[in-house]
Amino acid sequence: MKLSIVGTGYVGLVSGTCFAEMGNTVYCVDTDAEKIEGLKKGKIPIYEPGLEDLVLSNFRRGNLRFTTEIKEALKETDIIFIAVGTPTGEDGSADLQYVLQVAKSIGGFMEHDLIVVDKSTVPVGTADKVRDAVSKELAKRGAQYAFHVVSNPEFLKEGAAIEDCMKPDRVVIGADSEYPLSVMKDLYAPFTMNHSRFVAMDVRSAEMTKYTANAMLATKISFMNEIANICERLGADVNMVRAGIGSDSRIGYSFIYPGTGYGGSCFPKDVKALIKTAHNVDYEPRLIQAVEDVNDDQKLTLVKKIIKRFGEDLTGKTFALWGLAFKPGTDDMREAPAIYIVKELTKRGAFIAAHDPKAEETAKNFYLKGQENINYFSGKYSALTGADAMLLVTEWKEFRSPDFEEIKKQLKNPIIFDGRNQYNVHKLKEAGFEYYQVGVAG
């Protein structure tokens, strides 16, 4: 098939590349000319394991093409995906301006019948707005092309997005008629050959499915963090509690690890948008609001432990921070706990010595740009030299089994604040460390 994807961010580039890998001809469209030229030269704007090789190989084969001109892409394709950003607005809602701009462009330039697919994460009812925007532009031109608007939410995990895209748990399609549904089934057939993972439903239910999935996962995280905070005050060990409840097949082990809260491009934005959506229909989402409130507090759990240990005034103190990205396997720092930790500690006079395998440039150029009292180190041990304590914030694999003797040697004091509960508390304390975890009294 021939298709277009508008937006070469995380969702658009990964999805377009995977479609191309299956033999489709894919036009990736973006208004950022510098990004498009970079992609043509093999410069990948995001870090995702395996993505660079797939982009380069499919570009060389001609399956994957990059352009700034949506008109050019529309001439060649029968399916167009909208995969642009939907940032959080001032009122917490998803900002649809970029989605609707694309819809207007589609209506303004389409020259034949078309299937329009909402791939961006959008609130319930967005398909109706897209349909209306396309129809108005067609009417202005006096054109009468038929088109269908379909919802196809993405469920990609950063750090494992290629695997998720090539071998999806499910493919959710929301359509209001059989024809676009059958076309989408054909498009996704190569991805679901070994097992039927295609879930068809109406458009509004598909739009709601994405928000519900992310809110459910965020709820598990905030629930476990709340349990961790209670455990800490009772003298219980949340790590043991997690093992005890995770063995129950009705609960499972996924997303019940205590820590410094969730971040990233999806959970924070989608939880806020779902709260706003509920308010728009006069419903107070008490549970979902609590999920967000707990998470906001949890991002500062390490800061509170540091203040308890060192006092409010941290002038002259240096803290070595391992991990800047919101999770391992990505350079994404959107709503990362590290941002809040750095700002709160430096506000109290502390210096930060930071190391992250992938997110250093993201921090320098965007989320911590201009931040004072922070230096970046290319090696995890070099960041420790002379620091008063070490903070583990992102659980990269290379941090899981470090040389603790080297850590002790480099630190001024053998103190570790572990925001991901990665290490054995008893072994570290036996080795002479002061060791603090989330959900464990200490």
Distance CA 204, CA 320 (A): 47
28 classed as catalytic: no
Q: Are 147 and 116 in contact (CB under 8 A)?
A: yes
Structure tokens at 327: 């999770």
What are the distances in angstroms from CA 123 to CA 118, 151, 153, 348?
11, 11, 11, 40
Structure tokens at 232: 């800490």
Q: Are 58 and 16 in contact (CB under 8 A)?
A: no
Q: What is the DSSP string of 97-155?
A: HHHHHHHHHHHHH--S-EEEEE-S---TTHHHHHHHHHHHHHHHHT----EEEEE----
Q: Within 10 Å of residue 266's Cβ, how many Cβ atoms?
A: 26
Q: What is the DSSP string of 370-402?
A: T-SSEEE-SSTTGGGTT-SEEEE-S--GGGTS-
Distance CA 437, CA 420 (A): 7
Distance CA 311, CA 300 (A): 15
Residue type, 222: S
Catalytic residue (choose from 18, 28, 165, 266): 266
Structure tokens at 3: 């298709």
Q: Tokens 């076309």 label which residue?
A: 183
182 Cβ contact list (under 8 Å, min separation 6): none
Q: Which of 149, 296, 144 is nearest to 225 (CA)?
A: 296
Distance CA 150, CA 239 (A): 43
State the catalytic residues: 266
